[in-house]
Amino acid sequence: MNDQADTNANHQASSSHTEDQPASTEALAWRSSRAVILFLIVAAVLLTADLLIKYYSFKDVGDYPVVIQPVDEPAPADAGAYRFTDNGKDIIINVYTDAAQPIPQSAEGITIIPHLLNLHITLNTGAVFGLGKGGRPVFIGVTAIALFVIGLFFARSKASAWAFHLGLACILAGALGNLYDRIVYSAVRDMFHLLPTTGWYPWIFNLADAALLLGVFIIIIHSYRADKPSQPQQPS
């Protein structure tokens, strides 16, 4: 009789201990096809949009189409060549017109939303807000490291952390968009000008810059919500 009671008690204790422990550890993101697909689709859509906006802005915003090419490539016969120099680094801008001039366009650019957003094409050899001009090799190296870190963070995150993955995808797209420009053109193509008539925001940026900032903001919010202690449950 005592043996049967001991067996029942041990069984109940084992069941109670099992209920206190999670049945299984949540899958990591790299093992979840849904998490991987969401991450890659968001990054691909933003990257494609960034490159398309850059292409059409430099094709249509100026008075004439503007083509940027490396210095060692010969300019087409019908192109006016303007040499853009920054800290000893030369970039050839081919303007398809008889008169060579630097990125020909009106001072206001093209109005998208009156008094709020204009398109005004320019080249930036620095980082965000034009900082670190002429530091192309450093920016490329830092971006390469950042891409590795993004992949590592994604792989080690939980499959259900979709907001975190969304933020990482935005940062990945922004980093790749500007990395492409730095490798191919030695400068980043910018075109968005906020509050153009006020002069309060003098910087010109692109979709990749906006994606980077949005991704950082999403991750900060996600981290804050994840670290916030949950409300204790009141005993019934």
Backbone angles phi, psi at 139, to 5 degrees: -65, -40
Q: What is the pLDDT of residues 168-218, one digit of tens each?
A: 999 999 999 999 998 888 788 999 999 988 888 888 999 999 999 999 999
Indicate the DSSP class of residue 231.
P
Rounded to a whole number of angstroms, the CA Rg of the chain reads: 27
Q: Which of 87-101, 130-144, 181-195 has the highest mean pLDDT?
A: 181-195
Residue 138 lies in a domain: yes
pTM exceeds 0.85? no
Q: Which residue has the higher pLDDT, 107 or 204?
A: 204
Q: What is the pLDDT of residues 41-75, one digit of tens each?
A: 999 999 999 999 999 998 888 777 777 765 556 65
Neighbouring-strand partners of residue 188: 124
Residue 83 lies in a domain: no
Residue 15 lies in a domain: no
Residue 81 lies in a domain: no
- Domain count of the fold of the chain: 1
Q: How distant is the alpha carbon of residue 133 from its chain centre?
A: 20
Task: Say what the pLDDT of residue 98 is.
Answer: 43
Active-site residue, selected from the candidate residues 20, 86, 98, 209: 209
Q: Which residue has the higher pLDDT, 8 or 123?
A: 123
Task: Say what the pLDDT of residue 63 is.
Answer: 72
Residue 75 lies in a domain: no
Is 190 tagged catalytic? yes
Contact 216, 55 (CB under 8 A): no
Residue 13 lies in a domain: no
Question: Inter-axis angle of helices 33-60 and 207-227, to 10 degrees?
Answer: 150
Active-site residue, selected from the candidate residues 60, 72, 98, 190: 190
pLDDT at 17 over 50: no
159 exposed, middle or buried (CB, 10 Å; 0-12, 13-18, 19+)? middle
127-142 mean pLDDT:
71
What is the average pLDDT value for the chain, to the nearest integer? 78
What would the DSSP string read from start to end of 66-132?
EEEE-TTSPPPTT-EEEEEEETTEEEEEEESSSS--SS---TT-EEEETTTEEEEEEEESSSGGGTT
Residue 149 lies in a domain: yes
Task: Say what the pLDDT of residue 23 is.
Answer: 40
Structural domain range at position 190? 27-64+107-227
Residue 79 lies in a domain: no
Q: Which residue has the higher pLDDT, 127 or 151?
A: 151
Contact 197, 115 (CB under 8 A): yes
